[in-house]
Amino acid sequence: MIKTDVLVIGGGPAGLAAAIEAHKNGAKVILIERESRLGGILKQCIHDGFGLVRFEEKLSGPEYAERFIDEFRELHIEALLLTFVTKVQKTESGFVATVVNRDGVMDIEAKSLILATGCRERTAKQVFIHGTRPAGVFTAGTAQHFTNLLGELPTKKCVILGSGDIGLIMARRLTLEGAKVLGVYEVKPTPSGLTRNIHQCLNDFDIPLHLSHTVTRVFGVDRLEGVEVAKVDENMRAIPGTEEYIECDALILSVGLIPENEIAENLGVEIDPKTKGPKCDASLMTSVPGIFSCGNALHVNDLVDYVSESGETAGRSAALFSGKERKMASVIPGDKILYIVPQKLDTLSVGSETVVYFRSKEVYDDSIFRITVDGETVFEKKYAFLRPPEMEKVIVDFSKCGLSENSKISAEIEVTVK
Amino acid sequence: MSTREMVCITCPRGCTMQVEQFDGAIKVTGNFCKRGEQFAVNELTMPMRTICSTVKTSFPESPVLPCRVSKDIPKDKIFDVMNEINRVVVTERISRGDVIIKNVLGLDADVISTSDLLRKGE
């Protein structure tokens, strides 16, 4: 049996950063990647804007990923490519992962495990669309794969459902390659993607954005021939009489991302219903000692810079994992907070610089983000605006508030009226 | 004097800025950093954009190679530059950062590879 200290599952930006950081902290590391190349989804994210926080440069996805891949190779960290994890079991001394690749089936024993499995796109099956089942209904990520990796334009005239960032990026990309994007339809009254993407991907190319609208039906036998769109009410239900038929050959879905945690769930890792990723402490250890989570498997990020950052935290923690006792206290998010990471704090190892990520539930102007411990304010920051698509990061000092298992740690957003 | 709202697209922060124009002068508020001001001035005088795309290759295992312009080009030249990019077929193994089209359309920007996908040994 192959033995290692740290086993990283996933070779995207989170897994790469985790593997590099675990190696730098003295651990023997093996990384498992199911595709033939490292880099994860960044391989097909050819647009720029990556790395502004980390490198203060505007890089494309491949450029950002390859900086980490270059370092990963220089450090001679072992990667098993075209390798798929079929099963992970907990043992007395750690974990045994069963993997399969062209050499056959083998077991790898590891002291700690980093789950960097990224996220998956919500598909047509997960949003309720009536009508036939023709070809031409696919996710924005699939459109991106066809266009940017295979060099095939998957549509000539399309409608995009959902205003997530990948959908917006693909609206621009398909337009540049000569396709006609007839419009982006978003069921919510506010866009899901970053404001700058609304401007540089839609407004720059006169692509209309229809808020509070959805696709109610698809038409076509072999290939999509058209879609029906309608206005929705405040409960997101289509308003009768507002239906409109649009002729198109593709319906592209950008309707959300869900962290991929099948392995975590099978190992009994506790999942946060809000992030849909594992509940973690500040070291990014999950509820199962020795299992760590990072990147989009932990929670869906809008900037890759934070994906790498969480990978590094998980990598460092996994390398230094000793199995010592934890005494956990939960961080309770208020009703204006969509989610907060970490969800728990280990009161036996409280750092003075705990990284906290959060998103607001709705758009709030002039607000205060506050963390209290037993009613005492330990952190406060003012925001001119908070928007759900834009994740916020703060650094909190919990070392002076005498945390114990019984501490009541609350995070809240207070909207201040001018 | 005229005032308009503008969203800076320089970085993902996406500052919403108030841009005032009077007597040929431009005053910008609401920007987090000085790049916002530069963006606003450019938008009102000569809007610039970057292009990221792919070029065809003659390698069957990697039919396209990601590329971008080495610096921003005028917004109204986007589709002209795309036409140039779509005329190229890369037939040699090149590395990340290598020039694919030198000084495209005389705009003082090169089209460069953004991946080591075709590098020897990949």
Residue B105: per-residue pLDDT: 97
Q: Which residue of A has its CA nearest to B82?
A: A176
Q: What is the CATH number of the domain that holds A383?
A: 2.60.40
Residues A353, A396 within the same domain: yes
> What global pTM score does this model have?
0.93
Regarding whether A131 and A20 lie in a shared domain, the answer is no
Q: What residues make up the domain containing A346?
A: 329-418
Q: Are the C-beta atoms of A378 and A397 separated by less than 8 Å?
A: yes
Return residue ranges of chain B for CATH 3.10.530.10: 52-113
- Are A3 and A91 part of one and the same domain? yes
Predicted confidence (pLDDT) at residue A365 exceeds the cutoff of 70: yes
Answer whether residue B121 shows pLDDT above 80.
no
Q: Are residues A138 and A112 in the same domain?
A: no
How many Cβ atoms from other residues are within 10 Å of residue B91's Cβ?
A: 10
SS3 category, A199: helix
Q: Report pLDDT digits (tens) over A169-198.
A: 999 999 999 999 999 999 999 888 888 899
Residue B16 has what pLDDT? 87
Query: Sorting pLDDT into bands at 50, 70 and 90, what band is B10?
Result: confident
Query: What average pLDDT does this structure show over A367-377?
Result: 95
pLDDT at residue A311 in the model: 98
Instruction: Report residue A150 as tokens.
Output: 């295979």
Residue type, A209: L
pLDDT at A418 over 70: no
* Residue pair A242/A230 in contact by the 8 Å Cβ criterion: yes
Minimum mean pLDDT range among A201-205, B24-28, B96-100: B24-28
Tokens of A42: 């960044």
**A130 and A249 both lie in a single domain:** yes
* Torsion sign across C-alpha atoms A48, A50, A56, A57: negative
B56, B86, B114 member nearest A60 (Cβ): B114
Instruction: Calculate how close chain B gets to A147, using CA atoms only, in Å.
Output: 9
A105 with A209, same domain: the answer is no
Q: Is B8 an interface residue toward A (CB < 8 Å)?
A: yes
Residues of B in contact with A60 (CB under 8 A): 52, 66, 68, 114
**Among B11, B50, B82, beta carbon nearest to A52:** B11
Confidence band for A199, pLDDT divided at 50, 70 and 90? very high
Out of A52, A60, A150, the one facing B52 most closely (by C-beta) is A60
Residue with tokens 């090169």: B110
Say yes or no to pLDDT of B22 above 90: no
Task: Answer yes or no: do A309 and A343 share one domain.
Answer: no
pLDDT in tens, B61-77: 999 999 999 999 999 99
Residue-wise pLDDT tens digits, A235-291:
999 999 999 999 999 999 999 999 999 999 999 999 999 999 999 999 999 999 999
* A1 and A106 within one domain: yes
Tally of structural domains, chain A: 3
- A15-51, pLDDT tens digit by residue? 999 999 999 999 999 999 999 999 999 999 999 989 9
CATH of the domain at A234: 3.50.50.60
Residue A57 CB neighbours (<10 A): 12
- Looking at residue B1, what is its pLDDT? 66
- Cα–Cα–Cα angle for A54, A59, A64, rounded to 5 degrees: 70
Find the helix packing angle between A61-74 and A304-319, rounded to 10°: 20
Question: Domain B52-113 belongs to what architecture?
Answer: Roll (3.10)
pLDDT of residue A416: 87
**Which of these three, A255, A280, A311, is where a domain ends?**
A255
- Contacting B with CB below 8 Å, chain A residues are 37, 46-49, 52, 58-63, 66, 147-151, 173, 176-177, 194-196, 198-200, 204, 302-303, 390
Last residue of a domain, one of A267, A301, A322: A322
Average pLDDT of every residue of chain A: 95
Phi, psi of A63 (to 5 degrees): -65, -45
Q: Under an 8 A CB cutoff, do A62 and B96 touch?
A: yes
Interface test with B, best of A38, A45, A48 (most B CBs within 10 A): A48
